[in-house]
A and B are shown apart, each in its own frame.
Chain A
């Protein structure tokens, strides 16, 4: 367990640095564009509109999901996904793309994935805010269930941290892995109940779909906003999610610990 604690210690002691560097990352990304940081919102907005049109108006004929209108259901899945997908792909690439920058200074490599997570988090929180306004306009209130939102956000961040730590390490050593992650994320978009509901499948298939940990997070965030249930209702799923996260974190930390000094050699 010591590598895990060491990694966390590195994150905590370098937190102000992570924060600043994340801001610089965002700035650097949009420096070249006329609309600058606005693209953080234009991009998802266009995608939301396309998905809403294709899946909501086209395929579902505008049918509601339970009590919620389809657009609300879709947004509750898409907003977390727009955070998850780029974070995973960029995070997996973070060590490879930045190690040259970092290796010239005394600087723990393990903070690189965290910078990506934090950099993407700003727009995620803003989008969550916009989402809350939309929910308010629709008169949808999660009530007491909203209390579990922080729990699911912690789940989300911890899982992303564990996963990007592991995959950024692997991807720095095996470049093929990055391409694999990219196509896997494209596939997972369709395998996660974002524009479809889990309930529309038979039980057995539901259980298989649930092996995808993003299902836990996205459905959890939905439950919180729509007031559909508590996180401890499905304890089996909760146990699965946390043990998987811990496993990824453990493997990631050990692997990272073994390779942190050697990244420069393998690039």
Chain B
């Protein structure tokens, strides 16, 4: 007769790693296993169709490990297990979802065992009948008592028609009625020729159900024989053990556990395993290497492919540029706005910079068209003129910088006399010459300055009003500025441009363009934005 379940020299070890990292290294087989606990050692037995096997033992004897191996949940460390059929483990509330109702759990668990919807429908009433939990069936599992949970789990497991049933302590929670029901079900299974493993530490339960009993003691199979024989031996052992004093019990346990820790598995099996693994590794490494290589190459292509394209494109572009530049008689295109950074800056009408056409103040804007040998060709007021390169700063984006400074802040740097009257003076900003002269009395000087602009000087108040070409009061020059005031430093930091010698600064606010001359201690405020 062919055995249904056959175990050959089955051992199971658990690693006793102290650190999590040791476990990892061990897993990657970098480090040799250090300390192991042998939960099962060299178990061999055969079980035939229709048998009910009781597995008995004290706590920590390896019963549950054996049941897990039989249900094929965990693999053995060494040895082989041959099982003919589908094993099912019945453990308390295994595989039940606490949030789902009993009915839904029945369906879920049956699904997981591979039953289809029709089959589930047909067995559901049987399960409900067997579990006997009444109206609770439509309640979430979390409301169940532990007995209900166990009954439901058990009921589902026995109804999904397993070939081999592994029952781990599942009956301990049921009452005697339920227990009787289970025993009846086991008899039914037995008649159908199914194999049952019944795991318990209660000798009476095991004896009432099993045909043969397997006695486990600290990882070793102590006995496997007819139930009466084993039952007598086991009860004698228990009697002997209970008679020991607690000190002796401790010593006995300790020595057994020490044995389990020190036990080494036969070398041959581990050797064979490692060779198998290395062989498999070489077989797998080729596609792995190949795909890694492609990934690497494609990521390089993605990262640098565009650069390569733009590099070649850039090279052709550059060579094109060179030819056009050659034909344009050494004038190189600039086409950017620029600002004067000298005061005043001279604009010449010829390339050699000999004839001065006009002089313009610091921070005047113009369009720089092209450059050759330190000379800029610029467009100013519709005229094409030339100037030294050093007098112009190209707009590098800083010209749009807007400082956040109000007139009130500025006033703190004004001379004491003007602080009191600046608001009155600035009220005339933008007014025409007539209005200013008729309203503001006491100017000490008037005339035309070096830039052909009319001006009115109020030397008592340290202010000069300069009129633009439309005779409007466009610019106010304040002299005797307190240049050591922190506001000045702030202004300088926010300056959008400054002269080469760092004495002239231009600051742009939302309303004004402000020029500071540090050497002459003057501040020039020009209204912008209205025209």
Task: Please give the distance in Å from A24's CB to the nearest CB on chain B.
Answer: 5
Contact of A104 among B95, B97, B303 (CB under 8 A): B95
Please state if A24 and B108 are interface contacts (CB–CB under 8 Å): yes
Task: State the majority secondary structure of interface residues on B.
Answer: helix
* Closest partner residue, chain A, to B286 (CB atom): A1
Q: Digit string of A10-27 for contact with B (CB within 8 Å is 1, else 0)? A: 000000110011001001
Contact of A247 among B107, B284, B291 (CB under 8 A): B291
B241 within 8 A of A: no
Residues A174 and B24 in contact in the complex (CB < 8 Å), given A28-B99, A243-B298, A247-B291: yes
State which of A132-140, A148-156, A180-188, A233-241 sits at the interface with chain B.
A233-241
Please state if A173 and B27 are interface contacts (CB–CB under 8 Å): yes
Contact of B299 among A24, A103, A240, A266 (CB under 8 A): A240
Task: Please give the distance in Å from A261's CB to the nearest CB on chain B.
Answer: 4
A42 within 8 A of B: no
By a CB distance below 8 angstroms, the chain B residues around A101 are 94-95, 97, 112
Interface size class of B (residues with CB under 8 A): 35 or more
Please state if A236 and B301 are interface contacts (CB–CB under 8 Å): yes
Please state if A28 and B24 are interface contacts (CB–CB under 8 Å): no
Please state if A24 and B97 are interface contacts (CB–CB under 8 Å): yes
By a CB distance below 8 angstroms, the chain A residues around B287 are 1, 250
Please state if A102 and B298 are interface contacts (CB–CB under 8 Å): no
Tell me the A234-267 residues at the B interface (CB within 8 Å): 236-237, 239-240, 243-244, 246-247, 250-251, 254, 261-262, 264-266
Please state if A27 and B95 are interface contacts (CB–CB under 8 Å): no
Please state if B307 and A24 are interface contacts (CB–CB under 8 Å): no
B75 within 8 A of A: yes
Residues A32 and B99 in contact in the complex (CB < 8 Å), given A17-B111, A246-B291, A261-B75: yes
Task: Please give the distance in Å from B37's CB to the nearest CB on chain A.
Answer: 12
By a CB distance below 8 angstroms, the chain A residues around B71 are 104
Interchain CA distance A107-B114 in the complex, whole Å = 9
A46 within 8 A of B: no
Please state if B104 and A240 are interface contacts (CB–CB under 8 Å): no
Please state if B74 and A264 are interface contacts (CB–CB under 8 Å): yes
A203 within 8 A of B: yes
Task: Please give the distance in Å from B422's CB to the nearest CB on chain A.
Answer: 37
Please state if A103 and B291 are interface contacts (CB–CB under 8 Å): no
Tell me the B360-398 residues at the A interface (CB within 8 Å): none
Tell me the B48-77 residues at the A interface (CB within 8 Å): 68, 71-75
Residues A28 and B288 in contact in the complex (CB < 8 Å), given A17-B112, A104-B89: no
By a CB distance below 8 angstroms, the chain A residues around B288 are 247, 250-251, 254
Tell me the B278-324 residues at the A interface (CB within 8 Å): 284, 287-288, 291-292, 294-295, 298-299, 301-307, 310
A207 within 8 A of B: yes
Please state if A207 and B303 are interface contacts (CB–CB under 8 Å): yes
B217 within 8 A of A: no
A211 within 8 A of B: yes
Q: Digit string of B1-40 for contact with A (CB within 8 Å is 1, else 0)? A: 0000000000000100000000110010000000000000
By a CB distance below 8 angstroms, the chain A residues around B116 are 16
By a CB distance below 8 angstroms, the chain B residues around A240 are 295, 298-299, 301-302
Residues A21 and B108 in contact in the complex (CB < 8 Å), given A105-B88, A247-B295: yes
By a CB distance below 8 angstroms, the chain A residues around B344 are none
Tell me the B110-135 residues at the A interface (CB within 8 Å): 111-114, 116
Residues A211 and B75 in contact in the complex (CB < 8 Å), given A173-B27, A203-B306, A250-B287: no
A31 within 8 A of B: yes
Q: Digit string of A136-164 for contact with B (CB within 8 Å is 1, else 0)? A: 00000000000000000000000000000
* Closest partner residue, chain A, to B116 (CB atom): A16
Please state if B73 and A104 are interface contacts (CB–CB under 8 Å): yes
Interchain CA distance A261-B81 in the complex, whole Å = 14
Residues A207 and B298 in contact in the complex (CB < 8 Å), given A28-B99, A101-B95: no
Interchain CA distance A103-B69 in the complex, whole Å = 11
Residues A24 and B100 in contact in the complex (CB < 8 Å), given A173-B27, A250-B288, A265-B14: yes
Task: Please give the distance in Å from B262's CB to the nearest CB on chain A.
Answer: 21
Contact of B298 among A28, A239, A262, A265 (CB under 8 A): A239
Please state if B140 and A31 are interface contacts (CB–CB under 8 Å): yes
By a CB distance below 8 angstroms, the chain B residues around A24 are 97, 100, 104, 107-108, 111
> Hey, which bits of chain A sit against chain B, CB under 8 A?
1, 3, 16-17, 20-21, 24, 27-29, 31-32, 101-107, 173-174, 203-204, 207-208, 210-211, 236-237, 239-240, 243-244, 246-247, 250-251, 254, 261-262, 264-266
26 examples of A-B residue contacts, CB within 8 angstroms: A16-B116, A17-B112, A17-B114, A20-B111, A24-B97, A24-B107, A31-B100, A101-B97, A104-B71, A104-B73, A104-B89, A106-B114, A107-B112, A203-B306, A211-B299, A211-B302, A236-B305, A239-B301, A240-B299, A244-B298, A247-B292, A250-B291, A254-B288, A261-B74, A264-B73, A265-B74
Assuming A204-B307, A244-B298, A247-B294, what are 12 further A-B pairs, CB within 8 angstroms? A17-B114, A20-B111, A27-B104, A29-B99, A101-B94, A103-B74, A173-B27, A203-B307, A203-B310, A243-B294, A243-B298, A254-B288
